[in-house]
Amino acid sequence: MRLKPEETELRGYWLDLGSSVVPDSNWERIDALTNGYLEPVVTGADGTCKLYRDPADGRFWELSRVAPQMKDGGPPLLSAIGAPEAALKYQLDLE
């Protein structure tokens, strides 16, 4: 379940099964990573993005939603974000 060093983005999608729509395996993996593996750092001021840290390599990961106009924000997007960008966007002192 850990993130591989070469991974920089995980994007969840809806799967249309005809009679229902369900999250795909990437969505389920994102949920598992953010609920039990990645360390939460901070939630953005607008509440739509969350910043996490990978305990294995220290990389920062940002969780956002690809359709903010939807009730639940739509499918998740988990993207690697550099420390300088994270510090600026989330107003963190990372020194």
Residue 1 lies in a domain: no
What per-residue confidence (pLDDT) applies to 73?
A: 78
pLDDT above 70 for 95? no
What per-residue confidence (pLDDT) applies to 94?
A: 76
Query: What pLDDT, in 10s, does the model give residues 36-79?
Result: 999 999 999 888 899 999 999 999 999 999 887 777 778 999 99
58: left (phi over 0), alpha (psi -120 to 50) or beta: left
Residue 41 lies in a domain: yes
How would you list the strands of the sheet with 50-53, edge to edge?
9-11, 76-81, 60-65, 50-53, 39-43
Average pLDDT of the chain is 92
How many structural domains compose the chain? Answer: 1
Are the beta carbons of 49 and 63 closer than 8 angstroms? Answer: yes
For residue 86, the enclosing domain spans: 9-90
Residue 3 lies in a domain: no
Proportion of the chain above pLDDT 90, given as a percent: 75
